[in-house]
């Protein structure tokens, strides 16, 4: 139901409205904190307008400038790479605790720091993570309503469409973003209400059926993925700790849960390339025994894959299994976005590393060991990679009995 | 010594270098916090590069967006106008206390909020002042090194040169900024060292001579301005509380001190229009008796002038008298910038309202009453207006004896 008759400005405005009304469900009197690349100024202005119309008491935007970051890597003294704006991160955490909502606009250059001193890159990232921990804990605990949304930028567009002139590449990327975000539908707020209902129906049904495991079968893939004891399926709009129902990710197409990190057996192959910190990993095939990867191969980037698998003990198991029909709009676009927000919503995927405690029943008060005993994997990494396609069948297995969930990539369970 | 052969980018780079090396004298390991309009991105990037080259540990820029502020006035709910980002202002104050330097880039639209609900405008300004007080106290106490510098923006340029096309107006404004900031000289750092020496020599000499009063005489002006007991002249580079010698204002052309708020008698006329919060006040003539304005007239904007004079008790006296030769580069440009940073450095001026304690000897521990008894005026306002021209003579008077200071607007004291 795409309205190609809409102008770019109209589509941008619908995307902004979608992010404020659906993504955040911003409440009257809430402050809003936006982080955005400088290229996102026109989108930020429209989000700001919709936020005030929704009753925001104050909108504060922090712009990131890729050029300023490159100037730091080019000219700053050694000590700079261990420095972060803790004073600012603490201020933002305080705002979240006092009730502010958070909007993150993604779209920077995915390979900006390629070619920089890897020691400097990892120290900057560590210092920033440490400074941002209090604020990010509020986000990962989902204590306040938040939303992440994408904005096309020339650097990103050029990497997706390297053979197009800039204008054409930007148009193509915007088309993909508007479509995946349902901003090009007649009534995006209604379209998201309908879509959320579909995702909720799927997760509700899966939570009722309580499969012991999922069996994925297709070219290069024949794997039984056990589900954690007391796993919960999630997907679509969710209620944050402050009581606001919102859609943290726009777009989102997945229903997802926690696999059992010691009950996974078989072989699985990637169906799309994985971009990790500027590196390409393609043609992945891994074999699991009792939940752990015992054999890993990649046609391209095998060294990077092996380095990932050695991050820590939990990196050789998975913390998420997600179901996405092949007919999802992102998958249909055929675009590889090199951005997890989009690519993980194009296909069924699994994630190496950390599980989501929100995908477990009654996680409160459980120690890490107790969560692991129930199957929830623990790791410092969480890296999604795509294993779905139109050639994949998925069965749910309960007490040895098989129920079809996906056939040739399409949802068949109801 | 203008180098018109330099490209715009070269001049911009020299302005950036001047702000970092002269304006801030940024020290190795200091963080730097920049506030800037979005139009200043190219200047900010160059300042960021020079800051890292000077050894900055981290540069953080907060961009103000005039459009986002207008969206707030257009759409925000009532409560928004009493809201400020206290959590952010507190974070910035913490950074200053921990040693960060501060750079403010001015250049936004001088009449942005003209036509907005005045109640909303004043509430937003009050809420922001309240939130920013801890940070601004560090700046007004000069506890850390800071600098304010200007960037041309289309909205500002258009108001100065309303009859020019945008490109031409921007070029003309940049030319004025580069020249006033000495960025167009062969070696701006050396030019500022020379200029600071001139200003220091003037204030040192005036501090030695310790005049009782200054007598200004010219068309419409014949006034005796008594100087405060224990007044101090200042001008040019100064040492901040953290020990760093810096030039807070770029440009600066003035030497200035504290008048005695009960020893001012005579009549003084403005020589250039005054822009106050988007309103024009022109052709001002006021008469002082024993330090207080007893009669005020303006050809244009007399109502605004009268409202200013009624701000509080101290608004009818002055807190600053400053000497600027008529040959100052800003005056020579003939441009009326509608921005105090520039216009107050074009001409001798006085300021209605609050005095600077740094322009008094041993102000520590003195109560407000004791400072007022020595002549230092107290008010919530500090509004500079121009009283100098090439037709003004200034004498210093000590024990009834006259010493020429300015003749026909030019410095003659040595
Ligand atoms: Zn996922
Ligand atoms: Zn994931
Ligand atoms: Zn002054
Ligand atoms: Zn002043």
Element (H, E) at B155: helix B154-160
Among residues A294, A303, A300, A317, the alpha carbon closest in space to that of A375 is found at A317
| Residue at A250 is within a domain | yes
Q: Examine the domain organization and report whether B171 and B213 are in the same domain.
A: no
Q: What gap in Å lies between CA B352 and CA B333, rounded to an integer? A: 26
- Tokens encoding B390: 């090439």
* pLDDT (mean) for A272-278: 86
Does residue A167 sit in the same domain as residue A295?
Answer: no
What pLDDT digit, counting tens, does each position of A295-330 carry? 999 999 999 999 999 989 999 999 999 999 999 989
Q: Best of A72, A87, A89 to disrupt the B interface by mutation (most B CBs within 10 Å)?
A: A87
Query: Can you give the pLDDT at residue B3?
Result: 53
Q: How confident is the model at residue B1 (pLDDT cuts 50, 70, 90)?
A: very low
B-chain CB neighbours of A91 within 8 Å are: 87-88, 90-92
H-helix or E-strand containing B320?
strand B318-323
- Reply yes or no on whether the pLDDT at B215 is more than 50: yes
Do B230 and B161 reside in the same domain of the chain?
Answer: no
The answer to whether A88 contacts B87, with C-beta atoms less than 8 Å apart, is no
Rounded to whole angstroms, the Cα distance separating B382 from B293 reads 15
List the one residue out of B204, B228, B206 whose CA is nearest residue B376. B228
Is B270 found in the same domain as B231?
Answer: yes
Q: Report the CATH number that the domain containing residue A120 is assigned in CATH.
A: 3.40.1830.10
Q: Both B85 and B52 in a single domain?
A: yes
Rounded Cα gap, residues B97 and B134, in angstroms: 10
Residue B17 near residue B188, CB atoms below 8 Å: yes
User: How many domains is chain B partitioned into structurally?
Assistant: 2
ipTM: 0.91
Interval B351-396: pLDDT, tens: 999 998 889 988 888 888 898 999 999 998 899 999 999 999 999 9
Could you tell me if A277 lies within 8 Å of chain B, comparing CB atoms? no
Q: Are residues B162 and B281 in the same domain?
A: no
Confidence tier at A1 by pLDDT (50, 70, 90): very low
Task: Return the number of other C-beta atoms located less than 10 Å from residue A244's C-beta.
Answer: 17
Q: Is the pLDDT of residue A2 over 60?
A: no
Q: pLDDT tens across A173-216, in order?
A: 999 999 999 999 999 999 999 999 999 999 999 999 999 999 99
In a domain, B384, yes or no: yes
Is the Cβ–Cβ distance between B325 and B353 less than 8 Å?
no
Would you say residue B1 lies in a domain?
no
In chain A, the residue whose alpha carbon lies closest to the alpha carbon of B93 is A87
- Is A91 an interface residue toward B (CB < 8 Å)? yes
CA–CA dist B344, A62 (Å, integer): 33
Of all residues in chain B, what percent carry a pLDDT higher than 70?
Answer: 99
Buried b (16+ CB within 10 A) or exposed e, B217-245: ebeebebbbbbbebbbbbbbbbebeeebe
Residues B333 and B281 in one domain: yes
Residue B218, domain member (yes or no) = yes
Task: With respect to residue A185, please indicate whether it lies within any of the assigned structural domains.
Answer: no
Quick one: average pLDDT of A53-61? Answer: 98
Sign of the Cα pseudo-torsion (A104, A106, A108, A109, in order): positive
Q: What is the pLDDT of residues B233-280, one digit of tens each?
A: 999 999 999 999 999 999 999 999 999 999 999 999 999 999 887 788
Same domain, A19 and A86: yes
**For A323-382, what is each residue's pLDDT tens digit?**
999 999 899 888 999 898 999 999 999 999 999 888 998 888 888 889 899 999 999 889
Three-class secondary structure of residue A95 per DSSP: helix
Comparing C-alpha atoms, which of B331, B179, B355 is closest to residue B264?
B355
A142 and A174 co-located in one domain: yes
Mean pLDDT over the full length of chain B? 95
- Do B152 and B299 have their domain in common? no
The last residue of one of the domains, among B123, B152, B180, is B180
Gap between the Cα atoms of A105 and A250, Å rounded = 10
Structure tokens at A270: 């990637």
| One domain, residues A291 and A353 | yes
Same domain, B213 and B247: yes
Q: Is B310 within a domain?
A: yes
* Count of H-run helices and E-run strands, chain A: 12, 19
Q: What is the pLDDT of residue A4?
A: 63
Question: In the listed set A180, A207, A228, which residue is the last one of a domain according to the structure?
Answer: A180
Sort out which chain A residues have CB atoms less than 8 A from B58's CB and list them: 72, 76, 80, 83-85
pLDDT at A238: 94
Per-residue confidence (pLDDT) for residue B275, from 0 to 100: 87
Residue ending a domain, choose from A129, A146, A180 = A180
pLDDT for residue A140: 83
Structural domain includes residue B3: no
Domain, as residue range, for A343:
197-411
Instruction: Look at B129-138, B230-239, B280-289 and tell me which has the smallest mean pLDDT.
Output: B129-138
Q: What are the Cα distances from residue A217, in Å, to A265, A390, A403?
A: 12, 11, 14
A3 located within any domain: no
B340-344, B348-352, B394-398: least confident range: B340-344
């Amino acid at each position: 139901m795409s309205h190609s008759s809409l102008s770019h400005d109209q589509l941008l405005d619908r995307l902004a409205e979608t992010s404020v009304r659906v993504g955040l469900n911003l409440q009257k009197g809430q402050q809003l904190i936006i982080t955005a690349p400088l290229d996102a100024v026109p989108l930020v202005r429209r989000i700001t307008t919709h936020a005030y119309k929704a009753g925001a008491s104050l909108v504060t935007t922090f712009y990131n400038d890729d050029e300023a970051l490159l100037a730091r890597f080019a000219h700053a003294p050694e000590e700079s790479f261990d420095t972060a704006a803790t004073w600012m991160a603490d201020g933002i955490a305080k705002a979240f605790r006092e009730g502010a909502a958070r909007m993150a606009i993604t779209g920077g250059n995915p390979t900006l720091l390629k070619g920089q001193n890897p020691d400097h890159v990892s120290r900057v990232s560590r210092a920033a993570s440490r400074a941002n921990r209090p604020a990010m804990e509020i986000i990962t605990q989902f204590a306040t309503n938040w939303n992440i949304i994408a904005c096309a930028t020339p650097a990103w567009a050029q990497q997706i469409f390297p053979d197009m002139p800039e204008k054409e590449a930007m148009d193509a990327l915007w088309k993909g973003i508007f479509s995946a975000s349902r901003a090009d539908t007649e009534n995006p707020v209604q379209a998201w209400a309908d879509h959320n209902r579909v995702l909720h129906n799927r997760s509700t049904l899966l939570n009722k059926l309580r499969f012991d495991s999922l069996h994925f079968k297709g070219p290069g893939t024949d794997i039984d993925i056990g589900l954690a004891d007391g796993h919960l399926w999630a997907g679509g709009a969710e209620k944050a700790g402050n009581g606001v129902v919102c859609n943290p990710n726009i777009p989102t197409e997945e229903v997802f849960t926690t696999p059992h990190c010691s009950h996974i057996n078989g072989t699985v192959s990637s169906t799309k390339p994985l971009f990790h910190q500027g590196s390409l990993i393609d043609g992945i095939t891994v074999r699991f025994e009792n939940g752990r990867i015992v054999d890993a191969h990649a046609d391209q980037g095998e060294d990077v894959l092996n380095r990932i698998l050695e991050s820590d003990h939990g990196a050789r198991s998975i913390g998420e299994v997600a179901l996405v029909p092949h007919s999802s709009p992102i998958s249909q676009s055929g675009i590889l976005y090199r951005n997890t927000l989009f690519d993980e919503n194009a296909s069924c995927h699994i994630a190496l590393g950390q599980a989501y405690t929100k995908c477990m029943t009654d996680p409160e008060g459980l120690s890490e060991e107790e969560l692991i005993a129930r199957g929830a994997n623990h790791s410092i990494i969480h890296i999604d990679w795509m294993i779905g396609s139109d050639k994949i069948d998925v069965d749910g297995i309960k007490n040895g009995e098989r129920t079809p969930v996906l056939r040739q990539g399409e949802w068949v369970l109801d």
